[in-house]
Amino acid sequence: MLTAFAIVTDGLVYAAYLFLVAVGLTLIFGVMRILNVAHGSFYAFGAYGAAIAVGVYFDRGWPAAGGFLLMVLVAMAIGLVLGLVLERGLLRLVYGKDEIVVVLVTYAAFLILEDVIRLIWGPNSYALYQPLGAAGTVDVGALVLSGYDIGLVALAGLLAIGASFALKHTRWGRLLTVVIFDRELAAAFGINVTLVYTITFVIGAMLGALGGAVMAPKIAVTLGIGVEVIVLAFAVVAIGGMGSVGGAFIGALLVGESRAAAVHLLPQVELFVIYAVMALVLVFRPQGLFTRAQPRKI
């Protein structure tokens, strides 16, 4: 019983983590058809930024709430800068090229940013421990849940709801939906696709940085944290359906829960359960759970 409960809650927490790192990626892919490897760098920059700024904040002994707010602000600032630089400075040059070539451009950007991190913050690791303490704990029988984890799940949920609401009910969201559905059509409707791209990419970057910022308190912020995240996010997005926010949400839940189950019941398979799930989904629904395959017009 307790195990079952543990599986569900652990799954939720891991799913929240996955969704936070995947949502930006899937948004960018949906709108721009770019599989953005540099997303890992956004995550890493977000983590470093938060670890330093928020760390300083807490050391001042100022109220915790502000610290959490600062996390989000840092993430947004970093996303804004990195997003603009990459999109305006680099991606703009390769729009319309082979999809894979664009992927490789983001891969190159990722390689460079990895070392930029090293040049800015040095090779040593940073820790942002205060928020976990500040968030407290909730006891459920033998199981102690971290308040911070609960916060993460809530944040992920809010993001998911917020995103789907924004896509449906705001003017910008509708524009995006049109672009996602059919770029040519969107252009024909006189939508400024270039602007949509820039803004989407910046938002995606912000979300990636946010993922890093909110994970920073739980991990040691050190070189190479981006690499792991990329392939995880890819898996989630591929499972949910490239470009579908709802899909990323379900994909994250699916992976999170199956991993939690594996850890509790069958630790041997934990290492590749994610990829097993991914392979299965792709085999039975090539286009992922949440996107329809484009019908071929002839």
Residues 188-247 that bind other proteins (CB under 8 A): 215, 217-220, 222-225, 227-228, 231, 234-235, 238, 242
Cβ of residue 32: shortest distance to other proteins, in angstroms? Answer: 13
Tell me: does residue 264 bind other proteins (CB under 8 A): yes
Tokens 């989000």 found at:
72
Cβ of residue 204: shortest distance to other proteins, in angstroms? Answer: 17
With beta carbons less than 8 A apart as the criterion, state whether 189 and 181 touch.
no
Tokens 């829960």 found at:
257
Q: Report residue 296 as tokens.
A: 């071929």
Tell me: does residue 90 bind other proteins (CB under 8 A): yes
Tokens 């490789």 found at:
104
Tell me: does residue 108 bind other proteins (CB under 8 A): yes
Tell me: does residue 14 bind other proteins (CB under 8 A): yes
CA pair distance 234, 237, nearest whole angstrom? 5
Q: Report residue 247 as tokens.
A: 């899909």
Tell me: does residue 85 bind other proteins (CB under 8 A): no
Tell me: does residue 96 bind other proteins (CB under 8 A): no
CA pair distance 31, 194, nearest whole angstrom? 11
Cβ of residue 77: shortest distance to other proteins, in angstroms? Answer: 23
Would you say the C-alpha torsion 208, 213, 215, 220 has a positive or negative sign? positive
Tell me: does residue 52 bind other proteins (CB under 8 A): no
Tell me: does residue 111 bind other proteins (CB under 8 A): yes
Restricting to residues 158-177, name those near other proteins by CB under 8 A: none
Restricting to residues 27-46, name those near other proteins by CB under 8 A: 35
Tokens 């956004």 found at:
42
With beta carbons less than 8 A apart as the criterion, state whether 216 and 53 touch.
no
- For residue 246, give the nearest of 171, 134, 165 by alpha carbon: 165
Tell me: does residue 271 bind other proteins (CB under 8 A): yes
Tell me: does residue 1 bind other proteins (CB under 8 A): no
CA pair distance 27, 18, nearest whole angstrom? 14
Tell me: does residue 143 bind other proteins (CB under 8 A): yes
Restricting to residues 60-79, name those near other proteins by CB under 8 A: none
CA pair distance 182, 122, nearest whole angstrom? 44
Single out the residue of 72, 77, 81, 114 in contact with other proteins (rule: CB under 8 A). Answer: 114
Cβ of residue 193: shortest distance to other proteins, in angstroms? Answer: 21
Helix (H, G, I), strand (E, B) or coil at 60: coil
Cβ of residue 121: shortest distance to other proteins, in angstroms? Answer: 11
Cβ of residue 165: shortest distance to other proteins, in angstroms? Answer: 27
